[in-house]
Structure 1
Amino acid sequence: MAHREGESEPRVYGYIRTGSAALTHIICAVFTVTIAVLSRPGSSLFSWHPFFMTLAFSFFMTEAILLFSPHGSPIKRFPHKTKGRVHWVLQCLCVSCALLGVAAISYNKHLNGKPHFTSWHGLLGLLTVCVVALQSLAAVPLIYHSLAKGWSLAKLKRYHAASGLVTYLLGSASLLLGLSSAWFTASVREYAWYLSALCPALPALIIMNQVTSAYMAKRRLQS
Structure 2
Amino acid sequence: MLLNKESGSELRIYGCTRAASAALSHCACIVFTVTIALLSRPGTSWFSWHPFFMTLGFSFFMTEAILLFSPRGSPLKTLPHKTKSRAHWILQCLCVTCAILGLAAIVYNKHLSGKPHFTSWHGLLGVIAVCAVALQSLAAVPLIYHSLAKGWSLAKLKRYHAATGLVAYLLGSGSLLLGLRSAWFTGSAGEHTWYLAAACCAFNALVVMNQVSSAYTAKKRLQS
TM range (shorter): over 0.9
Aligned position for 2:101: 100
Q: Hey, what's the Cα distance between the residues in 2 that align with 1:85 and 1:191?
A: 38
The alpha-carbon deviation at position 186 of structure 1 amounts to: 0.3
Q: State the partner residue of 2:115.
A: 114
Q: Work out whether 1:146 is the aligned partner of 2:155.
A: no
SS at match of 2:71: coil
Q: Alignment partner of 1:46: what SS?
A: helix
Corresponding residue number in structure 2 for 1:185 = 186
Partners in 2 of 1:34 and 1:205 — Cα distance?
20
Residue 195 of structure 1 and its aligned partner are, at CA, apart by 1.9
SS, match of residue 164 in structure 1? helix
Provide the residue aligned with 2:167 in structure 1: 166
- What's the offset of the Cα at 1:192? 2.2
Measured after TM superposition, the shift of residue 190 of structure 1 is: 2.0
Q: Which amino acid aligns with 1:81?
A: K
Give per-residue Cα distances to partners, 1:156-178, cap 9 Å, x unaligned: 00000011111111011000000
Partners of 1:195 and 1:84 in 2: CA distance: 31
Higher mean C-alpha deviation, range 187-196 or range 168-177:
187-196
Whole-angstrom CA distance in 2 between matches of 1:196 and 1:40: 16
Amino acid at match of 1:73: S
- Is residue 20 of structure 1 aligned with residue 21 of structure 2? yes
1:45 counterpart residue number: 46
Q: What SS is found at the alignment partner of 1:129? A: helix
Kindly provide the amino acid, as one letter, of the partner of residue 158 in structure 2.
K
Structure 2 spans left out of the alignment, 5+ residues:
none
C-alpha distance in 1, partners of 2:79/2:192? 41
Q: Following TM superposition, by how much is the alpha carbon of 1:199 offset from its aligned partner in structure 2, in angstroms?
A: 1.4
* CA distance in 2: counterparts of 1:54 and 1:11, whole angstroms: 34
Secondary structure of the corresponding residue to residue 47 of structure 1: helix
TM-superposed CA distance for 1:38, in Å, is: 0.5
Q: Distance in 1 between matches of 2:219 and 2:73?
A: 19
Q: Could you say which residue in structure 2 is the equivalent of 1:126?
A: 127
Letter of the 2:114 counterpart: G
Looking at structure 2, the residues matched to 30 and 194 of structure 1 have their Cα atoms a distance apart, in angstroms, of 13
Q: Aligned AA for 1:157?
A: K
Paired with 2:3 and 2:102, the residues of 1 have a C-alpha distance of: 55
Shift in Å, 1:194: 1.7
Instruction: Note if 1:8 corresponds to 2:9.
Output: yes
Given residue 6 of structure 2, which amino acid in structure 1 is its aligned partner? E
Q: Which residue number corresponds to residue 90 of structure 2?
A: 89
The CA distance in 2 between the partners of 1:62 and 1:105, in whole Å, is 23
Displacement, 1:8? 1.2
Q: Extract unaligned runs of 5+ from structure 1.
A: none
* CA distance in 2 between partners of 1:34 and 1:86 (Å): 25
Q: Quick one: distance in 1 between partners of 2:116 and 2:192?
A: 32
1:68 is matched with: 69
Q: C-alpha distance in 1, partners of 2:56/2:192?
A: 23
Partners of 2:31 and 2:199 lie apart in 1 by 12
Offset at 1:196? 1.3
Q: Which residue of 1 aligns with 2:137?
A: 136
How far apart are 1:205 and its partner, in Å?
Answer: 0.5
The runs of 4+ residues in structure 1 deviating greater than 2 Å are none
Deviations 1:49-89, CA, capped at 9 Å, x for gaps = 00000000000000000000001000001111111111000
